[in-house]
Structure 1
Amino acid sequence: MPAEILLPIAVAFLWAEYLRRRKYKPPKGDIVSINLFGIPVIFVYSDEIVRELFEKRGALYSDRYPSSMAWLSGLKWNIGLIHYGDWWRRHARAFHQCFNSRAVLSYEGIKTKESRQLLRNLLESPDDFSEHLKFSVGRIIMDVVYAIDIKEEGGSFMNSVHTAIEGFGFTLVPGLWLVDVFPIFKHIPDWIPGIPFKKFVKKYKKPTEDTANVPFDIVKRLRRLENPLPNEEVVIKNVAGTAYIAGASTTYASGLQAILASVLYPETQKKLHDELDEVLGDRLPTLADRKNLPYVDAFLCEVMRWRPSVPFGVPRGLPENDPVNQVLLLLNRHILRDKKYGPNPEDFNPERFFEPGVRHPTEHFGFGRRTCPGRFFADNTLFLFVASIFKVFNIVPKKDENGNDIPISGRYAESFLPVPDPFQCSFKPRSPSAKELIIVDYTSDSLSL
């Protein structure tokens, strides 16, 4: 895809923000096309049209645009950014083998162990809930992918990875970086001062590359693929790195949004408590319980609809050799506010998923051949975390020195991977028996890092 098509993408993020301020109502129709410098940029708001383009015509609409900033930042190994073709298919095949809907069930033991560890961490130091959640998600992925058990929260490797995730969220914002609009700028010498993207690359490139390289270099092994492919080691390393940086960032963001929603909408928390108590009695949840917990499932669906962890799809385009230069941008956040999900789309209302015809918000995970390959892994991880937390904790606003609730803005930073602005809340065990459930000892035979 010619580099000049990047210029129209510079308006994409601002356009999406404009729509957000207009309560997500497009000016006309389900597709808006803006012609800039002779190049069409197409914004898609309808999941029916998206499915037509990206599922029925997936062979044509599955490519990515060549982001100079992503390459400069060390993200060339990320599956989500690889051009559509044979090299991408090798990665997709490997990822699917390890993270399909059946394969992820074999990781339940690891996830259950870590969900119990998360509960203990929240009991012992509840003010650090955000860091505990981030650490727990990372530990699961490290254990599943590399059989490495990271013991220390806040260790050097984990800090490096979360620095990479922070950078990842801003690297992919369309139009944020001048070097994506004018790729020739990537040749500006490093010694020229005051170049923002150069400073960004200096901070984030090494942590981003380390995310894929460090654990792989330590282990030098991963589950063997059937019918090994050429360059198998490179594929495995890229798959593992993508699993971490994508899975950790999105699952962590959704977990934080779930906690935020429960505090802003306390009536939903009461319903979670009631259903979990009725179904589980005096035990903690397993994945097998999900089919008997419809409100918990609806709550998770609403978290993904209300605040999707990837609100703007990565811009797509036609194959590199196609003469038609066009960019397609999915506004997932708008699609998830379609009238089919009921009225008041800005409100958090899990009951909307009990209405006939309202399906799981799969748009949260993307469309077609570029659908998130880790969606099953992320979905059941989030279920175990959320169901476990609300089985034993009541989450309420934190009090100030005068006994008043500390306000929670509910705002979030606009980035490719948004998370809520920092907020304070209290995790209170719901009863002595709930506290007792938390205090369980687990051990691990995994390799330590």
Structure 2
Amino acid sequence: MWNEYLTIVVLFLLSLLVLYTARNSGRRRFPGPTPFPIIGNIIPPGQIWKKLAVLGQEYGPVFSLRTFGKPMLVLNGAAIAREILDVKSAIYWSRPVPKLIELAGMDRGVLFENDPIRLRQSRKMLNIILSPRKLENYRSVMEKYVVQFLNNLLESPERFSEHIRSVPGGITLEMSHGYKIHGAHDPVIEMADITVQNFSKANRFGSHITNFFPSVADLPSFLPGMGFKRDAISWRNQAEHLCEQTYKFAKDEIAKGIAKPSMVSQALEKPEEYSEYIIKYTSTQVYSGGADTTVSSLLTFFSTMVRYPDVQRKAQVEIDCITGGDRLPLYSDRINLPYMNAVLTEMIRLYLPIPVVARVPAEDDVHNGYYISKDTLIIINLWAMLRDETLYPDPDVFRPERWLSKEYDAKLDPWGIAFGFGRRICPGRDLAEQLLFTTIACTLSAFDISPAKDDRGEAIMPSGEYTDGGIISPLPFECTIRPRSSRARELVMNAVNEVDLCL
């Protein structure tokens, strides 16, 4: 009996080996580490972008991998990424949908939409609020939430990480659904945060077996290792609840005649252009697609200011020269704040929230004589691109001054890399830039940020380390936040009185 089982297993493994050999013969592929038979290349889980960057030091800016028969192409260089993803955008526009994302119902909406018609409709709908011209209509909304954030820092600075969450959350929900949040513990914000956390877990590269072997999801739930199926059901219910509740709120406000202008309200006026499916899931992703990345960048800002006090001082001096210390900075001041711009740009380069994204080609392709099959997973290592020492000398050093030099051209701009390539460029770039700049400039104008102290009065420095996942953030840290002066406190309090803070 056991001999029969052993024979079956051996024959199965031999058939896999034959299939593997057949699929790898006769085609010239990009070089890469030699895969083991059947299992292919083994990459330990955990911050995969760093491991791929190390492999790139040996195999170059583009190299191939294979895992359990699945071909992969790693793009560690910005130049090759542009050649493939920008120039050939008609081929490399599709985004792979991890099986766990599908099981959790998070594949609906613009992020993972691979139907070209629906994708075009979704991106058009996003432009209702996210185009540079339309964003001007929401400038007062942005300033309102930034001022509320500054006021929260005055009242409870130790809860800064909690206050940060309400800034992008409040702005995006008001823009997308006309919903005004009710404090840091707003039920919609809390519900949305849970959904975003679930998404990051489901989308973590290489951490779930079902993302490599989708058929595993068909196995009975009672088997060992099938806990992900229960998680997926829970995550699906939570994501659907968020989508339905926010959509219902927007429609109810419209029916009452009291709706604020929002993406949903404007899209519902054009049923011939946008189906209910498009409206519901596209609007939900305005928050889920952008809030957590912005939160990550704002946490990075506080951590960075603690670790680089000289940078903080230089930025404050520049801001004071423009405002005279008599007002808070505005987004319109950005053109006159080159060092502040440089600080933000260097933050995005060194600490981008999404280090890796992926694509799949729509058809077989040959690039520079190398074959890329349509089932190839294209891994775009943004983290490695922005730490390329041939482009950015001393890439691991936080040095804003590098962006004050004219030696860097537009192709090296971290914003142009961090927000993607080709037809999948993030549509929220302008909102992210405006929100981050306004929040950071106003915070530095009003507050000093310094290390927290332990019981012996010694500084507790942030580790500078980041979490793992689809969206990464600094590991939890503490800091001390104080008004720069009595005048700075007064400016914040005056700003509070000047804006509508009925949140």
TM above 0.5, yes or no, is yes
Secondary structure of the residue aligned to 1:408 is: coil
Q: Are 1:331 and 2:385 counterparts?
A: no
Write the distance in 2 (CA, Å) between the matches of 1:436 and 1:357: 41
| Greater relative CO, 1 or 2 (CA 8 Å, sep 6+) | 1
Write the distance in 2 (CA, Å) between the matches of 1:121 and 1:278: 26
* Match of residue 370 from structure 1: 424
Write the distance in 2 (CA, Å) between the matches of 1:182 and 1:19: 22
Report if the CA contact (8 A) 1:10-1:181 is conserved.
no
Report if the CA contact (8 A) 2:144-2:501 is conserved.
no
Report if the CA contact (8 A) 1:256-1:419 is conserved.
yes
Write the distance in 2 (CA, Å) between the matches of 1:443 and 1:101: 23
Q: Are 1:251 and 2:301 counterparts?
A: no
Q: Cα RMSD between the aligned structures?
A: 2.5
Distance of aligned partners of 1:104 and 1:192 in 2 relative to their CA distance in 1, 3 Å threshold: same
* Match of residue 435 from structure 2: 381
Q: Deviations over 1:296-326 (max 9, x none)?
A: 111111111011111001x211227997321
Report if the CA contact (8 A) 2:50-2:384 is conserved.
no
When the two structures are aligned, how many residues end up with a matched partner? 440
Residue 179 of structure 1 deviates from its aligned partner by: 1.2
Report if the CA contact (8 A) 1:395-1:426 is conserved.
yes
Q: How does 1:33-432 map to 2 (within 5 A)?
A: 33-36=64-67, 39-192=70-223, 195-220=226-251, 222-225=264-267, 228-229=271-272, 231-281=274-324, 282-313=326-357, 315-319=358-362, 324-339=374-389, 341-358=391-408, 359=410, 360-361=413-414, 362-432=416-486
Secondary structure of the residue aligned to 1:397 is: strand
Write the distance in 1 (CA, Å) between the matches of 2:397 and 2:183: 38
Secondary structure of the residue aligned to 1:34 is: strand
Gaps of 5+ in 1: none
* Match of residue 4 from structure 2: none
Q: Deviations over 1:131-163 (max 9, x none)?
A: 100112101111111111111321332211111
Residue identity opposite 1:396 in structure 2: S
Write the distance in 2 (CA, Å) between the matches of 1:306 and 1:197: 33
Write the distance in 2 (CA, Å) between the matches of 1:162 and 1:8: 37
Secondary structure of the residue aligned to 2:459 is: coil
Residue 101 of structure 1 deviates from its aligned partner by: 1.8
Residue 58 of structure 1 deviates from its aligned partner by: 0.4
Write the distance in 2 (CA, Å) between the matches of 1:436 and 1:189: 63
Residue identity opposite 1:416 in structure 2: G
Distance of aligned partners of 1:436 and 1:200 in 2 relative to their CA distance in 1, 3 Å threshold: same
Distance of aligned partners of 1:337 and 1:232 in 2 relative to their CA distance in 1, 3 Å threshold: same
Q: Deviations over 1:41-75 (max 9, x none)?
A: 11011111111211111010011223211111220
Write the distance in 1 (CA, Å) between the matches of 2:230 and 2:245: 23
Q: Deviations over 1:270-313 (max 9, x none)?
A: 11110010011110111110000111111111111011111001
Report if the CA contact (8 A) 1:298-1:354 is conserved.
yes
Residue identity opposite 2:327 in structure 1: R
Question: Which segment drifts farther, 322-331 or 299-308?
Answer: 322-331
Q: Deviations over 1:405-436 (max 9, x none)?
A: 12321111111100000000011110110011
The percentage of counterpart residues that share the same residue type is 29
Report if the CA contact (8 A) 1:165-1:249 is conserved.
yes
Distance of aligned partners of 1:434 and 1:32 in 2 relative to their CA distance in 1, 3 Å threshold: same
Secondary structure of the residue aligned to 1:395 is: strand
Write the distance in 2 (CA, Å) between the matches of 1:352 and 1:58: 31
Residue identity opposite 1:155 in structure 2: D
Distance of aligned partners of 1:8 and 1:181 in 2 relative to their CA distance in 1, 3 Å threshold: farther
Secondary structure of the residue aligned to 1:426 is: strand
The TM-score normalised by the length of structure 2 is 0.82
- The structure with the largest alpha-carbon Rg is 2
Report if the CA contact (8 A) 1:149-1:444 is conserved.
no
Residue 246 of structure 1 deviates from its aligned partner by: 1.2
Write the distance in 2 (CA, Å) between the matches of 1:441 and 1:113: 11
Report if the CA contact (8 A) 1:211-1:245 is conserved.
no
* Match of residue 441 from structure 1: 497
Write the distance in 2 (CA, Å) between the matches of 1:232 and 1:197: 32
Distance of aligned partners of 1:196 and 1:365 in 2 relative to their CA distance in 1, 3 Å threshold: same
